[in-house]
Amino acid sequence: MEDRIMPLSFLKRLQHVQLPVRVACPEEIRHVSVLLATGLIEAEITTLTSTAAYLSSRLATVTRITADGVAELAKMSDLPAPMKTSMQFTRGFRMM
């Protein structure tokens, strides 16, 4: 059950940020992947080519929450509040 709750918690976080947003954290990219596969968001996940070991090899850009995502959010009123994140501006996008 927790595997399902985490992506939905991430979806709840997404509703409170200005989209599009870039996601670089590997765990959050997994959430984006699940939400994209289930049709709750529109996003693009890219693989970066970098020789720096400290950089994430994948980056996701979430462009919008779909109508199905909005419907799912409406059903989620009993989930715990999402964690706060720091946002940074980068080339017109926000980072999560």
Per-residue pLDDT, 72:
92
The pTM (predicted TM-score) of the whole model is: 0.72
- Per-residue pLDDT of the chain in tens (96 residues, 90 and over written 9): 455 579 999 999 999 999 999 998 999 999 999 999 999 999 999 987 766 666 557 899 999 999 999 999 988 875 555 555 555 445 556 566
Per-residue pLDDT, 12:
92
Per-residue pLDDT, 5:
72
- How far is Cα 55 from Cα 44, in angstroms, rounded to an integer? 18
Q: Are strands 93-95 and 21-23 parallel, antiparallel or unpaired?
A: parallel
Paired strand residues for 21: 62, 94
Asked whether the beta carbons of 65 and 15 are under 8 A apart, the reply is yes
Nearest 10 degrees: Cα torsion 71, 14, 29, 66: 30
